[in-house]
Protein backbone atom coordinates (compact mmCIF):
# COMPACT_ATOMS: atom_id res chain seq x y z
CA UNK A 1 0.00 0.00 0.00
CA UNK A 2 2.90 2.33 0.82
CA UNK A 3 4.30 2.11 -2.71
CA UNK A 4 0.85 2.46 -4.24
CA UNK A 5 0.04 5.67 -2.37
CA UNK A 6 3.47 7.10 -3.22
CA UNK A 7 2.76 6.32 -6.89
CA UNK A 8 -0.70 7.95 -6.64
CA UNK A 9 0.88 11.05 -5.11
CA UNK A 10 3.49 11.20 -7.88
CA UNK A 11 0.72 10.77 -10.45
CA UNK A 12 -1.38 13.50 -8.82
CA UNK A 13 1.63 15.84 -8.82
CA UNK A 14 1.93 15.35 -12.59
CA UNK A 15 -1.84 15.90 -12.75
CA UNK A 16 -1.46 19.20 -10.91
CA UNK A 17 0.96 20.55 -13.51
CA UNK A 18 -1.12 19.20 -16.42
CA UNK A 19 -4.33 20.71 -15.03
CA UNK A 20 -2.52 24.00 -14.46
CA UNK A 21 -1.15 24.19 -17.98
CA UNK A 22 -4.11 22.63 -19.89
CA UNK A 23 -7.32 23.31 -17.91
CA UNK A 24 -9.38 23.39 -21.14
CA UNK A 25 -8.69 19.68 -21.67
CA UNK A 26 -10.17 18.63 -18.32
CA UNK A 27 -13.05 21.05 -17.87
CA UNK A 28 -15.35 19.11 -20.27
CA UNK A 29 -15.23 15.95 -18.07
CA UNK A 30 -18.13 17.31 -16.03
CA UNK A 31 -20.14 18.42 -19.03
CA UNK A 32 -19.84 15.46 -21.37
CA UNK A 33 -19.23 12.53 -18.99
CA UNK A 34 -16.07 10.48 -18.70
CA UNK A 35 -16.70 7.97 -21.50
CA UNK A 36 -17.27 10.65 -24.15
CA UNK A 37 -14.36 12.64 -22.78
CA UNK A 38 -12.02 9.63 -23.15
CA UNK A 39 -13.15 9.21 -26.77
CA UNK A 40 -12.39 12.83 -27.61
CA UNK A 41 -10.08 14.88 -25.38
CA UNK A 42 -8.62 11.93 -23.51
CA UNK A 43 -7.47 9.83 -26.48
CA UNK A 44 -6.28 12.73 -28.58
CA UNK A 45 -4.15 14.37 -25.90
CA UNK A 46 -2.64 11.30 -24.28
CA UNK A 47 0.55 13.02 -23.15
CA UNK A 48 -1.48 15.49 -21.05
CA UNK A 49 -4.21 13.10 -19.90
CA UNK A 50 -2.31 9.83 -19.24
CA UNK A 51 -1.98 10.68 -15.53
CA UNK A 52 -5.79 10.52 -15.17
CA UNK A 53 -5.93 7.03 -16.68
CA UNK A 54 -3.12 5.90 -14.37
CA UNK A 55 -4.99 7.47 -11.45
CA UNK A 56 -8.07 5.37 -12.22
CA UNK A 57 -5.95 2.19 -12.39
CA UNK A 58 -4.20 3.03 -9.12
CA UNK A 59 -7.49 3.86 -7.41
CA UNK A 60 -8.95 0.54 -8.58
CA UNK A 61 -5.98 -1.34 -7.08
CA UNK A 62 -6.25 0.69 -3.87
CA UNK A 63 -9.98 -0.12 -3.64
CA UNK A 64 -9.42 -3.87 -4.03
CA UNK A 65 -6.56 -3.78 -1.50
CA UNK A 66 -8.65 -1.76 0.98
CA UNK A 67 -11.64 -4.06 0.61
CA UNK A 68 -9.61 -7.25 1.19
CA UNK A 69 -7.59 -5.91 4.15
CA UNK A 70 -10.60 -4.31 5.85
CA UNK A 71 -12.85 -7.33 5.40
CA UNK A 72 -10.16 -9.59 6.90
CA UNK A 73 -9.77 -7.35 9.94
CA UNK A 74 -13.49 -6.83 10.41
CA UNK A 75 -14.14 -10.56 10.36
CA UNK A 76 -11.44 -11.03 13.06
CA UNK A 77 -13.04 -8.25 15.12
CA UNK A 78 -16.50 -9.82 14.88
CA UNK A 79 -15.10 -13.23 15.83
CA UNK A 80 -13.62 -11.66 18.97
CA UNK A 81 -16.59 -9.45 19.74
CA UNK A 82 -17.13 -11.18 23.10
CA UNK A 83 -13.72 -9.88 24.27
CA UNK A 84 -15.15 -6.36 24.35
CA UNK A 85 -17.05 -5.75 27.56
CA UNK A 86 -18.75 -2.63 26.18
CA UNK A 87 -20.54 -2.30 22.84
CA UNK A 88 -19.27 1.27 22.48
CA UNK A 89 -15.64 0.10 22.71
CA UNK A 90 -16.34 -2.41 19.97
CA UNK A 91 -17.87 0.30 17.78
CA UNK A 92 -14.84 2.52 18.43
CA UNK A 93 -12.59 -0.32 17.26
CA UNK A 94 -14.66 -0.52 14.07
CA UNK A 95 -14.08 3.19 13.29
CA UNK A 96 -11.15 2.77 10.83
CA UNK A 97 -13.05 0.03 9.00
CA UNK A 98 -16.16 2.19 8.75
CA UNK A 99 -13.95 4.82 7.11
CA UNK A 100 -12.50 2.26 4.70
CA UNK A 101 -15.92 0.98 3.62
CA UNK A 102 -17.16 4.57 3.33
CA UNK A 103 -14.23 5.36 1.02
CA UNK A 104 -15.18 2.40 -1.16
CA UNK A 105 -18.81 3.57 -1.31
CA UNK A 106 -17.60 7.05 -2.31
CA UNK A 107 -15.35 5.68 -5.04
CA UNK A 108 -18.20 3.50 -6.29
CA UNK A 109 -20.40 6.60 -6.40
CA UNK A 110 -17.82 8.52 -8.43
CA UNK A 111 -17.44 5.55 -10.79
CA UNK A 112 -21.21 5.35 -11.36
CA UNK A 113 -21.39 9.10 -11.75
CA UNK A 114 -18.60 9.38 -14.31
CA UNK A 115 -19.87 6.43 -16.31
CA UNK A 116 -23.57 7.17 -16.38
CA UNK A 117 -24.38 10.74 -15.30
CA UNK A 118 -26.16 12.98 -17.78
CA UNK A 119 -25.53 16.71 -17.87
CA UNK A 120 -27.52 19.20 -19.91
CA UNK A 121 -25.96 22.65 -20.14
CA UNK A 122 -27.20 26.00 -21.42
CA UNK A 123 -30.90 25.64 -20.69
CA UNK A 124 -32.22 29.18 -20.93
CA UNK A 125 -35.55 29.89 -19.26
CA UNK A 126 -37.49 33.13 -19.66
CA UNK A 127 -40.15 34.25 -17.17
CA UNK A 128 -43.54 32.70 -17.90
CA UNK A 129 -41.96 30.36 -20.45
CA UNK A 130 -41.46 26.60 -20.41
CA UNK A 131 -38.66 24.22 -21.36
CA UNK A 132 -38.59 20.47 -21.81
CA UNK A 133 -35.87 18.50 -20.03
CA UNK A 134 -33.94 16.75 -22.83
CA UNK A 135 -34.71 13.04 -23.38
CA UNK A 136 -37.64 13.08 -20.95
CA UNK A 137 -41.29 13.96 -20.67
CA UNK A 138 -40.60 16.54 -17.92
CA UNK A 139 -41.41 20.15 -18.50
CA UNK A 140 -40.03 23.11 -16.56
CA UNK A 141 -41.83 26.44 -16.24
CA UNK A 142 -40.34 29.63 -14.81
CA UNK A 143 -43.18 31.21 -12.85
CA UNK A 144 -41.30 34.14 -11.39
CA UNK A 145 -37.77 35.49 -11.20
CA UNK A 146 -36.96 37.63 -8.20
CA UNK A 147 -33.58 39.37 -7.90
CA UNK A 148 -32.45 41.37 -4.85
CA UNK A 149 -29.88 44.07 -5.52
CA UNK A 150 -27.41 45.10 -2.84
CA UNK A 151 -28.18 48.55 -1.48
CA UNK A 152 -25.88 48.65 1.56
CA UNK A 153 -22.62 50.53 2.09
CA UNK A 154 -20.38 47.78 3.43
CA UNK A 155 -19.77 45.81 0.21
CA UNK A 156 -18.95 48.73 -2.10
CA UNK A 157 -18.21 46.57 -5.14
CA UNK A 158 -21.67 44.99 -4.83
CA UNK A 159 -23.63 48.25 -4.92
CA UNK A 160 -26.68 47.84 -7.16
CA UNK A 161 -25.46 44.37 -8.12
CA UNK A 162 -27.50 41.20 -7.59
CA UNK A 163 -26.98 39.64 -4.16
CA UNK A 164 -29.83 37.13 -4.15
CA UNK A 165 -31.59 35.34 -6.98
CA UNK A 166 -34.75 33.30 -6.59
CA UNK A 167 -36.53 31.56 -9.41
CA UNK A 168 -39.89 29.89 -8.81
CA UNK A 169 -40.13 26.82 -10.99
CA UNK A 170 -42.86 24.34 -11.71
CA UNK A 171 -41.67 21.00 -13.04
CA UNK A 172 -44.08 18.38 -14.17
CA UNK A 173 -44.39 15.10 -15.98
CA UNK A 174 -47.32 12.72 -16.41
CA UNK A 175 -47.13 11.47 -12.80
CA UNK A 176 -46.39 14.51 -10.68
CA UNK A 177 -46.01 18.28 -10.45
CA UNK A 178 -43.47 20.00 -8.23
CA UNK A 179 -43.28 23.73 -7.50
CA UNK A 180 -40.05 24.84 -5.90
CA UNK A 181 -37.67 27.78 -5.50
CA UNK A 182 -34.33 27.66 -7.28
CA UNK A 183 -31.35 29.74 -6.17
CA UNK A 184 -27.55 29.69 -6.22
CA UNK A 185 -26.40 26.62 -4.28
CA UNK A 186 -30.07 25.70 -3.84
CA UNK A 187 -30.91 23.22 -6.59
CA UNK A 188 -34.40 21.99 -7.25
CA UNK A 189 -34.85 18.23 -7.05
CA UNK A 190 -37.19 16.40 -9.36
CA UNK A 191 -36.21 12.75 -9.19
CA UNK A 192 -33.99 11.65 -10.93
CA UNK A 193 -33.02 15.19 -11.97
CA UNK A 194 -31.45 18.07 -10.11
CA UNK A 195 -31.66 21.57 -11.57
CA UNK A 196 -28.87 24.03 -10.74
CA UNK A 197 -28.83 27.77 -11.34
CA UNK A 198 -25.78 28.66 -13.42
CA UNK A 199 -26.40 32.20 -14.63
CA UNK A 200 -29.06 34.89 -14.78
CA UNK A 201 -29.81 38.41 -15.98
CA UNK A 202 -30.06 41.26 -15.26
CA UNK A 203 -27.08 41.22 -12.88
CA UNK A 204 -27.06 44.90 -12.18
CA UNK A 205 -29.78 47.43 -11.44
CA UNK A 206 -28.00 50.21 -13.31
CA UNK A 207 -26.59 50.14 -16.85
CA UNK A 208 -28.11 48.53 -19.90
CA UNK A 209 -31.42 46.87 -19.11
CA UNK A 210 -31.06 43.25 -20.17
CA UNK A 211 -33.92 40.85 -20.64
CA UNK A 212 -34.55 38.68 -17.58
CA UNK A 213 -33.58 35.04 -17.90
CA UNK A 214 -31.99 32.16 -16.02
CA UNK A 215 -29.52 29.60 -17.32
CA UNK A 216 -29.78 26.22 -15.59
CA UNK A 217 -27.74 23.02 -15.52
CA UNK A 218 -29.87 19.89 -15.54
CA UNK A 219 -28.16 16.91 -13.99
CA UNK A 220 -29.12 13.26 -13.70
CA UNK A 221 -26.53 11.61 -11.49
CA UNK A 222 -27.17 8.04 -10.29
CA UNK A 223 -23.89 8.08 -8.30
CA UNK A 224 -24.96 11.02 -6.15
CA UNK A 225 -26.57 9.02 -3.35
CA UNK A 226 -23.53 6.75 -3.09
CA UNK A 227 -20.82 9.38 -2.82
CA UNK A 228 -22.81 11.57 -0.44
CA UNK A 229 -23.72 8.56 1.77
CA UNK A 230 -20.02 7.60 1.67
CA UNK A 231 -19.07 11.08 2.85
CA UNK A 232 -21.54 10.96 5.75
CA UNK A 233 -20.36 7.50 6.76
CA UNK A 234 -16.70 8.50 6.48
CA UNK A 235 -17.27 11.58 8.66
CA UNK A 236 -19.02 9.38 11.24
CA UNK A 237 -16.11 6.91 11.20
CA UNK A 238 -13.56 9.70 11.42
CA UNK A 239 -15.30 11.25 14.43
CA UNK A 240 -15.37 7.85 16.16
CA UNK A 241 -11.68 7.35 15.33
CA UNK A 242 -10.77 10.78 16.74
CA UNK A 243 -12.77 10.13 19.93
CA UNK A 244 -11.12 6.72 20.29
CA UNK A 245 -7.61 8.12 19.85
CA UNK A 246 -8.17 11.09 22.15
CA UNK A 247 -9.68 8.95 24.95
CA UNK A 248 -6.79 6.49 24.63
CA UNK A 249 -4.29 9.34 24.94
CA UNK A 250 -6.12 10.71 27.97
CA UNK A 251 -5.87 7.29 29.61
CA UNK A 252 -2.12 7.05 28.84
CA UNK A 253 -1.54 10.55 30.29
CA UNK A 254 -3.50 9.71 33.45
CA UNK A 255 -1.55 6.47 33.93
CA UNK B 1 -6.51 48.96 7.60
CA UNK B 2 -6.30 45.41 6.24
CA UNK B 3 -2.71 45.93 5.06
CA UNK B 4 -1.71 47.91 8.16
CA UNK B 5 -3.04 45.36 10.63
CA UNK B 6 -1.49 42.40 8.82
CA UNK B 7 1.87 44.14 8.43
CA UNK B 8 1.72 44.99 12.11
CA UNK B 9 1.10 41.34 12.97
CA UNK B 10 4.13 40.34 10.82
CA UNK B 11 6.29 42.84 12.72
CA UNK B 12 4.99 41.62 16.11
CA UNK B 13 5.55 37.95 15.23
CA UNK B 14 9.10 38.69 14.06
CA UNK B 15 9.89 40.76 17.16
CA UNK B 16 8.42 38.00 19.32
CA UNK B 17 10.69 35.51 17.55
CA UNK B 18 13.66 37.83 18.23
CA UNK B 19 12.61 38.08 21.88
CA UNK B 20 12.41 34.29 22.17
CA UNK B 21 15.89 33.92 20.65
CA UNK B 22 17.21 36.52 23.12
CA UNK B 23 15.61 34.63 26.01
CA UNK B 24 13.14 37.43 26.90
CA UNK B 25 10.23 35.17 27.76
CA UNK B 26 7.68 37.75 28.93
CA UNK B 27 8.42 40.36 26.26
CA UNK B 28 8.28 37.68 23.56
CA UNK B 29 4.97 36.40 24.96
CA UNK B 30 3.39 39.86 24.97
CA UNK B 31 4.57 40.48 21.39
CA UNK B 32 3.14 37.11 20.33
CA UNK B 33 -0.27 38.03 21.78
CA UNK B 34 -0.05 41.44 20.07
CA UNK B 35 0.74 39.67 16.77
CA UNK B 36 -2.21 37.31 17.15
CA UNK B 37 -4.55 40.20 17.96
CA UNK B 38 -3.38 42.24 14.94
CA UNK B 39 -3.71 39.12 12.78
CA UNK B 40 -7.23 38.46 14.14
CA UNK B 41 -8.17 42.09 13.42
CA UNK B 42 -6.90 41.75 9.84
CA UNK B 43 -8.92 38.53 9.40
CA UNK B 44 -12.01 40.20 10.89
CA UNK B 45 -11.80 43.11 8.43
CA UNK B 46 -11.28 40.76 5.49
CA UNK B 47 -14.46 38.93 6.47
CA UNK B 48 -16.35 42.15 7.18
CA UNK B 49 -15.60 43.43 3.67
CA UNK B 50 -16.74 40.27 1.89
CA UNK B 51 -19.33 38.51 4.08
CA UNK B 52 -21.73 36.82 3.23
CA UNK B 53 -19.36 35.97 0.37
CA UNK B 54 -15.97 34.32 0.81
CA UNK B 55 -12.64 36.18 1.05
CA UNK B 56 -11.20 34.32 -1.93
CA UNK B 57 -7.48 33.37 -1.93
CA UNK B 58 -6.97 34.93 1.50
CA UNK B 59 -5.81 31.69 3.14
CA UNK B 60 -2.18 32.84 3.61
CA UNK B 61 -3.39 35.68 5.85
CA UNK B 62 -5.39 33.27 8.05
CA UNK B 63 -2.77 30.51 8.28
CA UNK B 64 -0.24 32.13 10.71
CA UNK B 65 -3.10 33.03 13.06
CA UNK B 66 -4.38 29.46 13.30
CA UNK B 67 -0.85 28.02 13.74
CA UNK B 68 -0.31 30.55 16.54
CA UNK B 69 -3.60 29.72 18.24
CA UNK B 70 -3.20 25.93 18.05
CA UNK B 71 0.35 25.97 19.37
CA UNK B 72 -0.26 28.76 21.88
CA UNK B 73 -0.34 26.63 25.03
CA UNK B 74 2.86 24.78 24.13
CA UNK B 75 4.81 27.83 23.02
CA UNK B 76 3.70 29.85 26.03
CA UNK B 77 5.37 27.44 28.41
CA UNK B 78 8.49 26.58 26.44
CA UNK B 79 10.83 29.19 24.96
CA UNK B 80 12.58 26.67 22.73
CA UNK B 81 9.33 25.54 21.09
CA UNK B 82 8.24 29.17 20.87
CA UNK B 83 11.30 30.31 18.91
CA UNK B 84 10.95 27.50 16.36
CA UNK B 85 7.20 27.83 15.83
CA UNK B 86 7.47 31.61 15.71
CA UNK B 87 10.11 31.31 13.01
CA UNK B 88 7.65 29.41 10.81
CA UNK B 89 4.80 31.81 11.66
CA UNK B 90 7.01 34.82 10.82
CA UNK B 91 8.17 33.33 7.51
CA UNK B 92 4.57 32.49 6.50
CA UNK B 93 3.38 35.97 7.51
CA UNK B 94 6.06 37.79 5.52
CA UNK B 95 5.44 35.48 2.56
CA UNK B 96 1.76 36.49 2.68
CA UNK B 97 2.77 40.19 2.88
CA UNK B 98 5.12 40.10 -0.12
CA UNK B 99 3.39 37.49 -2.29
CA UNK B 100 -0.32 38.34 -2.16
CA UNK B 101 -2.61 36.72 -4.70
CA UNK B 102 -4.50 38.82 -7.23
CA UNK B 103 -7.62 40.43 -5.87
CA UNK B 104 -10.78 38.72 -7.10
CA UNK B 105 -14.27 39.99 -6.52
CA UNK B 106 -16.33 37.28 -4.85
CA UNK B 107 -19.36 35.99 -6.72
CA UNK B 108 -22.80 34.94 -5.51
CA UNK B 109 -22.06 31.18 -5.55
CA UNK B 110 -19.80 31.90 -2.54
CA UNK B 111 -22.83 32.95 -0.51
CA UNK B 112 -23.29 29.70 1.35
CA UNK B 113 -22.14 28.27 4.66
CA UNK B 114 -20.52 25.39 2.73
CA UNK B 115 -18.01 27.67 1.01
CA UNK B 116 -17.01 29.20 4.35
CA UNK B 117 -16.64 25.80 6.00
CA UNK B 118 -14.63 24.56 3.00
CA UNK B 119 -12.31 27.54 3.29
CA UNK B 120 -11.95 27.70 7.09
CA UNK B 121 -11.61 23.94 7.64
CA UNK B 122 -9.03 23.89 4.83
CA UNK B 123 -6.92 26.59 6.48
CA UNK B 124 -7.24 24.90 9.90
CA UNK B 125 -6.23 21.54 8.37
CA UNK B 126 -3.16 23.14 6.76
CA UNK B 127 -2.26 24.84 10.05
CA UNK B 128 -2.32 21.49 11.89
CA UNK B 129 -0.30 19.74 9.17
CA UNK B 130 2.39 22.44 9.21
CA UNK B 131 2.39 22.39 13.00
CA UNK B 132 2.86 18.60 12.99
CA UNK B 133 5.87 19.08 10.70
CA UNK B 134 7.43 21.61 13.06
CA UNK B 135 6.73 19.34 16.03
CA UNK B 136 8.29 16.41 14.19
CA UNK B 137 11.37 18.48 13.34
CA UNK B 138 11.72 19.49 16.98
CA UNK B 139 11.13 15.91 18.09
CA UNK B 140 14.02 14.67 15.95
CA UNK B 141 16.34 17.67 16.27
CA UNK B 142 16.09 18.15 20.02
CA UNK B 143 16.52 14.42 20.56
CA UNK B 144 19.71 14.54 18.49
CA UNK B 145 21.18 17.54 20.31
CA UNK B 146 19.96 17.06 23.90
CA UNK B 147 18.78 13.47 24.00
CA UNK B 148 15.27 14.55 25.11
CA UNK B 149 12.56 15.12 22.52
CA UNK B 150 10.79 18.53 22.67
CA UNK B 151 7.64 16.93 21.31
CA UNK B 152 6.53 13.33 21.59
CA UNK B 153 5.21 11.15 18.77
CA UNK B 154 1.77 11.47 20.38
CA UNK B 155 1.92 15.27 19.99
CA UNK B 156 2.74 14.89 16.30
CA UNK B 157 0.01 12.30 15.78
CA UNK B 158 -2.52 14.47 17.61
CA UNK B 159 -1.81 17.37 15.24
CA UNK B 160 -1.99 15.04 12.23
CA UNK B 161 -5.36 13.62 13.38
CA UNK B 162 -6.83 17.08 13.91
CA UNK B 163 -5.42 18.21 10.58
CA UNK B 164 -6.81 15.13 8.86
CA UNK B 165 -10.23 15.65 10.44
CA UNK B 166 -10.48 19.28 9.31
CA UNK B 167 -8.95 18.59 5.89
CA UNK B 168 -11.46 15.80 5.27
CA UNK B 169 -14.36 18.00 6.37
CA UNK B 170 -13.07 20.76 4.09
CA UNK B 171 -12.87 18.40 1.11
CA UNK B 172 -16.40 17.09 1.78
CA UNK B 173 -17.86 20.58 2.25
CA UNK B 174 -16.15 21.59 -1.01
CA UNK B 175 -17.63 18.59 -2.81
CA UNK B 176 -21.17 19.25 -1.52
CA UNK B 177 -20.88 22.98 -2.33
CA UNK B 178 -19.59 22.12 -5.80
CA UNK B 179 -22.54 19.80 -6.40
CA UNK B 180 -25.10 22.30 -5.11
CA UNK B 181 -23.61 25.14 -7.15
CA UNK B 182 -22.43 23.49 -10.35
CA UNK B 183 -23.98 20.03 -10.36
CA UNK B 184 -20.68 18.17 -9.96
CA UNK B 185 -18.70 17.19 -6.83
CA UNK B 186 -15.39 17.82 -8.61
CA UNK B 187 -14.55 20.97 -10.53
CA UNK B 188 -12.01 19.71 -13.01
CA UNK B 189 -10.56 23.04 -14.08
CA UNK B 190 -8.96 23.83 -10.72
CA UNK B 191 -5.55 22.14 -10.28
CA UNK B 192 -5.73 22.56 -6.50
CA UNK B 193 -8.30 19.75 -6.46
CA UNK B 194 -5.65 17.09 -7.22
CA UNK B 195 -3.14 18.39 -4.67
CA UNK B 196 -5.91 18.47 -2.03
CA UNK B 197 -6.57 14.83 -2.87
CA UNK B 198 -2.84 14.01 -2.71
CA UNK B 199 -2.55 15.67 0.72
CA UNK B 200 -5.52 13.68 1.95
CA UNK B 201 -3.98 10.43 0.70
CA UNK B 202 -0.58 11.29 2.18
CA UNK B 203 -2.02 11.80 5.66
CA UNK B 204 -4.20 8.71 5.25
CA UNK B 205 -0.91 6.90 4.67
CA UNK B 206 0.61 8.61 7.72
CA UNK B 207 -2.20 7.23 9.89
CA UNK B 208 -1.38 3.74 8.54
CA UNK B 209 2.38 3.94 9.18
CA UNK B 210 2.15 1.69 12.24
CA UNK B 211 0.97 -1.12 9.92
CA UNK B 212 3.94 -0.80 7.58
CA UNK B 213 6.79 -3.06 8.66
CA UNK B 214 9.76 -1.11 7.30
CA UNK B 215 8.72 2.20 8.91
CA UNK B 216 9.81 2.08 12.53
CA UNK B 217 8.75 4.53 15.23
CA UNK B 218 11.95 6.56 14.87
CA UNK B 219 11.25 7.24 11.18
CA UNK B 220 7.68 8.48 11.59
CA UNK B 221 8.59 12.13 12.35
CA UNK B 222 10.35 12.37 8.97
CA UNK B 223 7.00 11.63 7.30
CA UNK B 224 5.40 14.49 9.20
CA UNK B 225 8.21 16.87 8.15
CA UNK B 226 7.89 15.74 4.51
CA UNK B 227 4.09 16.17 4.73
CA UNK B 228 4.43 19.72 6.03
CA UNK B 229 6.84 20.56 3.17
CA UNK B 230 4.32 19.10 0.71
CA UNK B 231 1.46 21.12 2.24
CA UNK B 232 3.48 24.35 2.03
CA UNK B 233 4.55 23.65 -1.56
CA UNK B 234 1.26 22.41 -2.99
CA UNK B 235 -1.52 23.69 -0.72
CA UNK B 236 -0.14 27.04 0.47
CA UNK B 237 2.06 28.40 -2.33
CA UNK B 238 -0.68 28.10 -5.02
CA UNK B 239 -2.71 30.57 -2.93
CA UNK B 240 0.06 33.15 -3.26
CA UNK B 241 0.89 35.47 -6.13
CA UNK B 242 3.94 37.25 -7.54
CA UNK B 243 6.30 39.38 -5.47
CA UNK B 244 4.73 42.72 -4.64
CA UNK B 245 5.60 45.42 -2.14
CA UNK B 246 2.67 45.98 0.24
CA UNK B 247 0.62 48.89 -1.09
CA UNK B 248 0.23 50.98 2.04
CA UNK B 249 -0.95 54.55 1.46
**CB of B42 closer than 8 Å to CB of B61:** yes
Burial class (CB in 10 A: 0-12, 13-18, 19+), B99: middle
Residue length of chain A: 255
Q: Where are the alpha helices (DSSP H) in chain B?
A: 2-21, 25-48, 59-70, 72-77, 79-98, 113-146, 153-182, 192-206, 220-231
pLDDT at A225 (0 to 100): 94
Domains of chain A are 2-116+230-254 (no CATH), 118-220 (2.60.98)
Task: Tell me how far apart the alpha carbons of residues B113 and A215 are, in angstroms, rounded to a whole number.
Answer: 23
Among partner residues B112, B188, B197, which is closest to A26 by beta-carbon distance?
Answer: B188
Looking at residue B150, its pLDDT comes to: 64
Mutate to test the interface with A, among B117, B151, B194, B197 (most CBs of A within 10 A): B194
The C-alpha of A113 sits at a distance from chain B's nearest C-alpha, in angstroms, of 9
Residue A11 CB neighbours (<10 A): 21
Whole-angstrom Cα distance, residue B96 to residue B241? 9
Mean pLDDT value across residues B7-33? 93
Under 8 Å CB-to-CB from A94, ≥6 apart: which residues?
A: A74, A77, A240
A125: pLDDT confidence band, cut at 50, 70 and 90?
A: very high
A2 vs B215: CB contact, 8 Å cut-off? yes
pLDDT at B248 over 80: no
pLDDT average, residue stretch A167-185? 93
pLDDT at B149: 64
- Say whether residue B126 is in contact with chain A using an 8 A CB cutoff: no
CB contact, 8 Å: B153 with chain A? no
| pLDDT tens digits, one per residue of A71-101 | 999 999 888 888 877 788 888 889 999 999 9
The angle, 0 to 180 degrees and rounded to 10, between the axes of the packed helices A87-116 and A46-79 is 150
Closest by CA to A47, choosing from A17, A7, A27, is A17
Element (H, E) at A88: helix A87-116
Euclidean distance between CA atoms A206 and A204, whole angstroms: 6
Q: 3-state SS string over B169-208?
A: HHHHHHHHHHHHHHCCCCCCCCCHHHHHHHHHHHHHHHCC
Chain B residue with minimum CA distance to A16: B191
Q: Any idea which of A15-24, A178-187, B75-84 has the lowest mean pLDDT? A: B75-84
Mind listing the pLDDT tens digit for each residue in A27-70? 888 878 888 899 999 999 999 999 999 999 999 999 999 999 99
CA–CA distance, A100 with A95 (Å, rounded to integer): 9
Q: Would the pLDDT of A151 be above 70?
A: yes
CA distance B83 to B60: 21
Give the model confidence (pLDDT) of B71-93 as tens digits: 988 888 877 788 889 999 999 99
List strands edge to edge, sheet with A118-125: A118-125, A213-220, A193-201, A188-190
pLDDT at res. A203: 87
Q: How far apart are CA A19 and CA A10, in angstroms?
A: 14
pLDDT at B148: 64
Convert the pLDDT of each residue in B89-128 to its tens digit: 999 999 999 998 876 777 888 899 999 999 999 999 999 9
Q: Residue B183 is nearest to which of A26, A184, A217, comparing CB atoms?
A: A217
The reported pLDDT for the residue numbered A252 is: 75
Nearest chain A CA: its distance from B75 CA (Å)? 20
Q: Considering chain A, what is the average pLDDT of its residues? A: 90
Whether the ω angle into residue A38 lies within 30 degrees of 0, i.e. cis, is no
Mutate to test the interface with A, among B108, B177, B195, B204 (most CBs of A within 10 A): B108
- Mean of the per-residue pLDDT values for chain B? 88
Q: Check: CB of residue A167 under 8 Å from CB of residue A182.
A: yes
Of A90-94, A187-191, B28-32, the range with the lowest mean pLDDT is A90-94
Helix A46-79 vs helix A2-21: angle between axes, to the nearest 10 degrees?
A: 150
Chain-chain contact of B195 with A26 (C-beta, under 8 angstroms)? no
* ipTM for the complex shown: 0.93
CB-nearest partner of A9 from B111, B176, B198: B198
* Backbone CA torsion sign across B231, B234, B238, B243: positive
Contact status of B77 with chain A (Cβ, < 8 Å): no
Å from A82 to nearest chain B CA?
A: 25
pLDDT confidence of residue B115? 93
- Contact check, Cβ <8 Å, B108/A245: no
Enumerate the residues of chain B whose CB falls inside 8 A of the CB of residue A29: 188
Does residue B49 register a pLDDT over 90?
Answer: no
Q: pLDDT tens digits for B146-196?
A: 666 667 888 899 999 999 999 999 999 999 999 999 888 888 878 888 999
Asked if B133 and B228 touch (Cβ cutoff 8 Å), the reply is yes
Amino acid sequence: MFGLIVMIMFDLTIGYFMLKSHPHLFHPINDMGFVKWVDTYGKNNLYETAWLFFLIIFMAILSVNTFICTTKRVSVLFRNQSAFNQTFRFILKLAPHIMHYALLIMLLGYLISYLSAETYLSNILLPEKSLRIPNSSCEMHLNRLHIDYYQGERLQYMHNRAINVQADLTIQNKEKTVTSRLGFNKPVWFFPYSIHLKDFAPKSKSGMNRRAYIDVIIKKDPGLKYYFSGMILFTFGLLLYSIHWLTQQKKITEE
Amino acid sequence: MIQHSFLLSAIFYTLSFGGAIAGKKHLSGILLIAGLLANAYSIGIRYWLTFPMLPLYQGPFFLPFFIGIFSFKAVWNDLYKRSNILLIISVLTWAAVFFPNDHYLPFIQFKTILSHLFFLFGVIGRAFFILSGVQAYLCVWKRKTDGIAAYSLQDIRRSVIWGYLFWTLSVFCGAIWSYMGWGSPVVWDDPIIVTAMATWLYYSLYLHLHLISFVNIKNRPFFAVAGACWVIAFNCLPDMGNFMLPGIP
